[in-house]
Each structure stands twice: as C-alpha cells, then as structure tokens.
Amino acid sequence: MLARDDKDSLKRTPLYDLHVSLGGKMVPFAGYDMPVQYPAGVLKEHLHTRNAAGLFDVSHMGQLALRPRSGKVEDAARALERLVPQDSLAIAPGRQRYAQFTNAEGGILDDLMVANFGDHLFLVVNAACKAEDEAHLRANLSDDCMIDSLADRALIALQGPKAESALAKLCAEAPAMKFMDAGPHRVAGLDCFVSRSGYTGEDGFEISVPAGDAERLARALLDNPDVMPIGLGARDSLRLEGGLCLYGHDIDTATTPVEAALEWSVQKSRRTGGARAGGFPGAERILAHFDHGASRRRVGLRTEGRAPVREGALLFADATSHEPIGKVTSGGFGPSLNAPVAMGYVPTASSAIDTKLFAEVRGQRLAVQVAAMPFVKNTYKR
C-alpha cells in the first residue's frame, strides 16, 4: 500500500478523470496512477477485447520524434541503426517496425516501435524506460537528428475484432490500413497518428492524440456499444496469451534478442553476411547467438492442472532434482483458454515443444510442458 505522499507523487495521464468517472480501480504503474480494472472486472474485460473491442489508456508510454538534420528520413533511419539491430532503412513511409535498443553486452535496454512518417521517424517506448531512452538517443544521435519528446500527446489503444468497425465511424481511412501501417490521420476531426498494431494479439489500432483532446476522443470511441474500457489487468493477460514480452520481466538488460526468441525481429541485412551486418551495441554477442545458438531460450509453458504458475517460479528438469534449470518470467490464468499459461527461460536443450518440466509452486512441483506461442492465435490484418 502506498503512503499518501507516494500516492500524490504519481503522475496522471490526460485520461485520469475519465478513468475515475468510469469506476476505474487506480493503482501505481511505472510512476503513473493507472486503472488496473473497471467494475466489469478483469475476466469480462479480457473476453470483451477478444470478442468485440477494448479501449486502453497507454498514455504513460513515451512518444518521440527523430527528425533528421539533413531533411532526409533515411539519414535518421541510418543513425538509428547505430542503436538497434533492426533494419530501419527498410521501413517504408507509412510503415512501422518492432525494434530493441541493445547494450554493449547484447542485452535489451528497451523494446520500442519505430514508424516512418515520411520526413521523420516516430518512436513509442516503454513508460519505465522513456527518460533513459530519450537520454540514450540524445547522447548518441544528436549530431544527426533532432530528438523531440512528444510529451503533449496521449496514446490510446483500440483492440479486438470490432476495433476496425468502431474506428471506421471516426476515421474513414482505418479499414484500408494493414497490420503495421502507421501515419498521420484525422480521427473524429482531430489530427492523430494512427498505427494498426497493439499488444493483445488481436487486430487493432494505437492512436496518438493531442493530450487536450484525448478525453473527447476516448468518449467518442466509448459511445460505441462494442467498445469497453479495459485496465492493466486484462492488458497483461491478453499480452501473455499472445506470447508478447513485457519489458523488465520477459526481456531485460541481460537478455539478448536471440535468447528472447525475437530472432524474427532482426532482419538479414543486419546479421552476419548482411549488407549492414553489426554496427549496433552488443553486435558481437548477438551475432554469435545467431550464428552458433544461445544457451537459453524463452519458451511458452502450459500446466497440466488448473493452478497458475507465477513470475519467479523456478523450473526443474524433473520432480526431484535440487538444481533449477530455469525460471518463469510471466504467468497467470488465460481467460480465453480457461487455463493457466506462462513464459520463462530454460536451457536451449530443454526448449523443444512438449518437453516436460516441473515448476515449484508453494513448495510443490507442478508438471508443465513447453508449448508453442502464441497461446491464442493472433488476428492481425495482414
């Protein structure tokens, strides 16, 4: 329980008053006072997002513009490649890509989204890392780029199979967008940045809107009976079912993209033998993992019973061994599956699908199996 002084020190997003008016249960998260759930509860919010459309406040995330001093967006993309292992140059105007900032040891400083807006790059970074990320960009890219913090903007996510129809009422261009399309669009008469992406495994959109207009836009979306407000609790269970990493839990400064099973995010042009191989922090270790394999790997886990296996649970090769071989990094109940799901790290030799392991929960060993991810099939509009 936070002391009053600590509670008062929490930041508020532009949608704070709306959350309170909707009955949101507010909790501290990444330095912000955020809704963990609304009166409907986490289970109903989760299932509503899977079946209709959920509205999430993600305004605590960091939004940044990377503006090339040369006026050429490819120069900003080339500069960004000094900090990420992804092919930023290949992001076409109107498109977005998932990336990671890496450190000298090949670990992940943060994961982020990078969009090409034609004359500059638009970045969305994690709330807990945004100050460090901005400092990192300024320290390394200021000669080539102007780095603008877009602190005067809110960010709203609309997720679920009815997200398109709900947004189409306010933005005629929404139905034509494909997964990872991104750029400026008018939404409800407001100048917004819209990407067709999200953090649930469902089709959906993320909408950056001027802070002063955020509540108006959120209410316009919530006027649609298909749209329900969704809190952090369901956001977490949705992304877990989707097999999506949570920074600081499933990935961190000691985890390489290969260990995290994020190889798909590093294009061939940046790998050994590629046109622009290496040149990013930790390249030697990361490329060695690509070329020779890593000793551990992030995997999905399904339990044989109904008891959830939570973050921090140790993993063992058998029911009686004393030395753990891995650890759970995210775990909980999957409402769409009506069963527990988890993610964790195990030796690569133990990472094959259907490998049987044991998790220690309250002093007992529970049988778990390595499972394919995502646990719930994604529905992105390709």
Q: Per residue in 258-269, pLDDT tens?
A: 999 999 999 999
| Predicted confidence band of residue 142 (pLDDT cuts 50, 70, 90) | very high
Q: Whole-angstrom Cα distance, residue 64 to residue 12? A: 19
Domain boundary among 196, 226, 241: 241
Closest CA to 52 of 157, 166, 156, 155: 166
- Identify the band that residue 7 occupies on the pLDDT scale cut at 50, 70 and 90: low
Confidence band, pLDDT 50/70/90 cuts, at residue 350: very high
Angle between helices 42-51 and 232-241 (to 10 degrees): 50
Whether residues 208 and 356 fall in one domain = no
Q: For residue 75, give Cα distances in angstroms to 122, 259, 267, 279, 371.
A: 14, 30, 19, 15, 42
Domain count, the chain: 2
Characterize the bridge pairing of strands 96-102 and 108-116.
Answer: antiparallel
**End position of a domain, from candidates 241, 257, 276:** 241
Mean pLDDT of the chain: 97
pLDDT in tens, 242-293: 999 999 999 999 999 999 999 999 999 999 999 999 999 999 999 999 999 9
Mean pLDDT of 71-98: 98
pLDDT, average across residues 134-162: 98
**Domain annotation covers residue 254:** no
Write down the pLDDT at residue 6.
64
- Residue 21, domain member (yes or no): yes
Q: How far apart are CA 166 and CA 143, in angstroms?
A: 43
Average pLDDT on 230-238 reads 98
Query: How does residue 66 score in pLDDT terms, banded at 50, 70 and 90?
Result: very high
CATH number at residue 216: 3.30.1360.120
* Alpha helices by DSSP H, the chain: 4-9, 16-21, 42-51, 73-80, 130-141, 163-168, 214-222, 232-241, 283-292
Confidence of residue 4 (pLDDT cuts 50, 70, 90): very low
Structural domain boundaries enclosing 347: 295-382
On whether both 42 and 180 belong to a single domain, the answer is: yes
Tell me the β-bridge partners of 196: none
Q: Is residue 356 part of a domain?
A: yes
